[in-house]
Structures are given as structure tokens and as C-alpha cells.
């Protein structure tokens, strides 16, 4: 919780700063919200989850997002990197939770499963289109923080950017388990993330991008709802804060406070 409070104070204090060029702020805000921007990103996303059944959970999701002038694999060079390039994304979650005694899951601190995406991006007149393989690695420790299964699938992104100051689209990740702990349930699910971003000027931006989980194996879905607002403080730094409320699914009733600290390194 201290991480969230410190980051929030930093966010509110820096809202008053206007030292950067307007163009730099707008470009930084656009790059921060665009999942296929040709910009290296280092993201830290602490989430504080108030569990409806009692207890709380603090997760710190770290992401490394690296664009390359290649097609799928690093050694396959793109003939025109301005139109076709690849985005690699590695996600590494740390979790600490304290649950109500009635919830038979487990308390503790550890790591969850790592997620890797390899998305080839194609620039279009109207925006961006991306597709590529996705992999979930069962790295969780303690094991109740993860699925215990290797899962593979496809990731796809559609993003309309033709209207200045607006990004509309979706990110989908479909996974099916193929190996891992035989005592764990097989997996077949999709993460579906609608994308609606507004660049408001002076570095401010608004986001509505809830991650919906569609579990085909269990015939259930998890639906969170909530907006975020952020600001680019410099051409290489942005921060956002938002909330989510889970209106359906196994975690229905949970309330989440989300922060995202985003360092960006554009190609020179």
C-alpha cells in the first residue's frame, strides 16, 4: 500500500509541471498508450486489490516491451521496418496476498507465471495491425500463484489511430495448455482487452482498457470495469492511475487500484 501512496503523491505533484515541449508531451502520451508503438518500454504496475471475500492482494507487474526491426525472430530482418516490425513483450508478476481464513487458497509472497508475446506489427493507413505467438510459462512460486501449466496460443492487436488524439482497438490473447502439472486443470481461455484512449493535451491522457477473461474450459468470464487517467511528464516518462471493479466472474466484487509507471526509450 505504501508503494501506491508514494506513487500517487508523485503523480499529483507532477501534474503541475509543464516544463516539457507540448509536442514531446503529446508524443509521449501517444507512445505510452499505444501497445504497438516503436518504443522500448519498461513498465512497473503495482495493483492493490480489495478482495470481496475478505483480505487483500498487492501485485507488482513488471513488463519489458522491446520493438525490433525484424519479422518474428531477431535474425529475420524486415525489408521495411517503418511498415513491418516486431514487438517482444515479457511480463513478470510479483504477488503478496493475505486472504480470509475461509478462502482455501493460500497466503504468502512470491512470483506468478511469466507471459511472453512476439507480435509482428503491420502499419496501415488507418492504424496498426499485429499478430504473433504467445506463451505462458509456469514459473509461479508458491505454486498457488500460477496455473502449473505451459500454455501457448496467439496474440492479436487491432488499433485505429487515424483520428488525432484517439486510439480505438483491441488486444486479444488466446491460450491452450499443452504441458505441465498433470494434477492441474487443463486451460483454454482468452484475454480480451478493448482499447479506448484519448490524448487530452499537455501530456494528459484517458484510458479505458479492461482485461476481460473468457474461460472456455469453465464456461465463465471475468469482467472488470474502470477508467484510468495519466500524464506524460517528459518525452520518456509517463504515469497513470485508475480503478477497476469486477462485475462478474469468480472474483466478482473485488475492487482494484491500479498504477502504471512507464519509462520509454524511443529509437534514436
* Apex 29 CA angle, 27 and 32, nearest 5: 105
Model pLDDT, residue 52:
79
Q: What is the pLDDT of residue 108?
A: 85
Dihedral of CA atoms 99, 105, 107, 110 in degrees, nearest 10, equals -130
When pLDDT is cut at 50, 70 and 90, the band that residue 21 belongs to is: low
Residue 242: count other Cβ atoms within 10 Å of its Cβ.
20
Is beta strand 166-180 parallel, antiparallel or unpaired with respect to 188-201?
antiparallel
In this structure, are residues 252 and 246 in contact, taking their beta carbons and an 8 Å threshold?
A: yes
To which H or E segment does residue 35 belong? none
Task: Band the pLDDT of 250: cuts 50, 70, 90.
Answer: confident
Residues 6 or more apart in contact with residue 65 via CB below 8 angstroms: 39, 40, 41, 42, 43, 87, 88, 89
CA angle (60 as vertex; 136, 148 as ends), nearest 5: 30
Burial class for 152, CB neighbours closer than 10 Å (0-12, 13-18, 19+): middle
Q: Give the pLDDT mean for 35-59.
A: 91
pLDDT at 44: 95
Can you give the C-alpha Rg of the chain in angstroms? 19
pLDDT attached to residue 69: 96
Q: What is the pLDDT of residues 57-114, one digit of tens each?
A: 899 999 999 999 999 998 999 999 999 999 999 999 999 988 766 555 678 899 999 9
Domain chopping of the chain, boundaries = 2-266
Strand-pair partners of 187: none
- The confidence band for 154, taking pLDDT boundaries of 50, 70 and 90, is very high
Question: Whole-number mean pLDDT of the chain?
Answer: 89
CATH top class, domain 2-266: mainly beta
In whole angstroms, what separates CA 135 from the centre of its chain? 15
Exposed/middle/buried for 85, CB within 10 Å: 0-12, 13-18, 19+? buried
pLDDT band at 18 (very low <50, low <70, confident <90, very high): very low
**68 backbone dihedrals φ, ψ, rounded to 5°:** -140, 155
If residue 23 lies in a helix (H) or strand (E), which one and from where to where?
Answer: helix 22-33
Residue 130 carries which DSSP code? Answer: E
Sign of CA dihedral 100, 191, 186, 247: positive
Give φ, ψ of 23 to 5 degrees: -65, -40
Strand partners, 227: none
Amino acid at each position: 500500500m505504501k508503494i501506491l501512496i508514494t506513487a500517487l503523491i508523485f503523480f499529483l505533484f507532477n501534474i503541475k509541471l509543464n516544463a516539457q515541449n507540448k509536442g514531446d508531451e503529446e508524443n509521449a502520451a501517444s507512445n505510452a498508450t499505444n501497445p504497438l508503438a516503436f518504443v522500448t518500454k519498461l513498465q512497473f504496475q503495482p495493483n492493490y486489490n480489495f478482495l470481496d471475500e475478505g483480505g487483500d492482494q498487492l501485485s507488482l507487474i513488471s513488463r519489458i516491451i522491446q520493438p525490433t526491426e525484424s519479422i518474428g525472430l531477431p535474425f529475420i530482418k524486415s525489408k521495411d521496418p517503418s511498415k513491418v516490425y516486431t514487438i517482444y513483450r515479457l511480463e513478470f508478476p510479483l504477488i503478496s496476498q493475505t486472504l480470509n481464513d475461509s478462502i482455501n487458497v493460500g497466503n504468502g509472497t512470491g512470483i506468478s507465471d511469466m507471459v511472453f508475446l512476439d507480435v509482428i506489427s503491420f502499419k496501415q493507413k488507418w492504424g496498426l495491425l499485429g499478430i504473433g505467438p504467445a506463451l505462458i510459462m509456469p514459473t509461479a512460486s508458491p505454486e498457488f500463484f500460477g496455473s502449473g501449466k505451459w500454455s501457448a496460443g496467439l496474440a492479436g492487436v487491432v488499433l485505429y489511430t487515424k483520428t488525432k488524439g484517439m486510439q480505438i482497438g483491441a488486444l486479444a490473447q488466446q491460450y491452450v495448455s499443452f504441458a505441465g502439472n498433470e494434477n492441474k486443470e487443463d486451460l483454454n481461455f482468452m484475454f480480451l482487452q478493448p482499447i479506448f484512449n484519448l490524448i487530452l493535451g499537455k501530456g494528459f491522457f484517458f484510458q479505458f482498457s479492461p482485461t476481460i477473461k473468457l474461460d472456455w474450459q469453465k464456461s465463465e468470464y471475468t469482467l472488470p470495469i474502470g477508467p484510468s487517467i495519466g500524464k506524460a511528464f517528459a518525452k520518456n516518462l509517463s504515469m497513470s492511475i485508475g480503478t477497476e471493479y469486477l462485475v462478474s466472474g469468480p472474483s466478482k466484487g473485488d475492487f482494484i487500484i491500479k498504477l502504471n509507471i512507464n519509462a520509454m526509450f524511443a529509437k534514436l
